[in-house]
Amino acid sequence: MGGYGPRGERPRRRGGGRSEIITIQVVTAPGAGEIVAPRDCFLELFLRGGGASGSVAFNNSRGGGGGGGARHSVRLLKNQLVKYFVGPGGPSNGAEGTIGNNGLDSTVLLPNGSIIVAGGGRGDGAGGLSYGAIENRAGASSGPVNSAGGDAASFSDVGPIDFFAGGEGGAFGLTGFRGASPGGGSGGCPPGGNGTSLQGADGSLVYVLSKASP
């Protein structure tokens, strides 16, 4: 797969040169969508699952797990269709003594029927797992007790823009904090029986289309 220059604007060709980018798109809104190849081209994608919300317990809360990440590249023919779904973060949970809600998986369906999954973070604090891609990375788990949410899987070492850095989990607090793009939300510590854990951050997709070599 191609790497990126200092600002990430030109992925390297397989032969060592640099291919011309057609488009770079960042998708942060949860939901379904599709990519249609405008010509014969290479698709490189970076996918992350939604972060989980945290648990709620007096002096024993825990942040949600961060979303997993997947990196993949494939050659597309003109008009071939790639379908995707960006998973939302786990919703806030305000009931005392409950664990957080899982973030949903983000998925990509390739033209050959292969499926790539970037797993959502877990409400019990475990990071999301990913599979089906050339490179799969797990999201970070939160700490054991009274902890912040786990960071999302990071691709800052290979991605073309700062967006690929792993999102930070929400910090631990009395009412919790929502995770950042797309880390797990923090656990709530309810004083007097009241408290909430905030939602994990939504998943994301970044994809790069570049012209295929003749």
Q: For the chain, what percent of residues have pLDDT higher than 70? A: 66
**Cα angle value 20/22/25 (rounded, 5°):** 130
pLDDT in tens, 3-16: 444 334 444 444 44
Q: How many whole angstroms separate alpha carbon 94 and alpha carbon 101?
A: 11
pLDDT in tens, 69-127: 999 999 999 999 999 999 998 887 766 667 788 999 999 999 999 999 999 988 888 88
Q: How many whole angstroms separate alpha carbon 15 and alpha carbon 207?
A: 21
- 89 contacts 71 by C-beta, under 8 angstroms: no
User: Does the global pTM surpass 0.75?
Assistant: yes
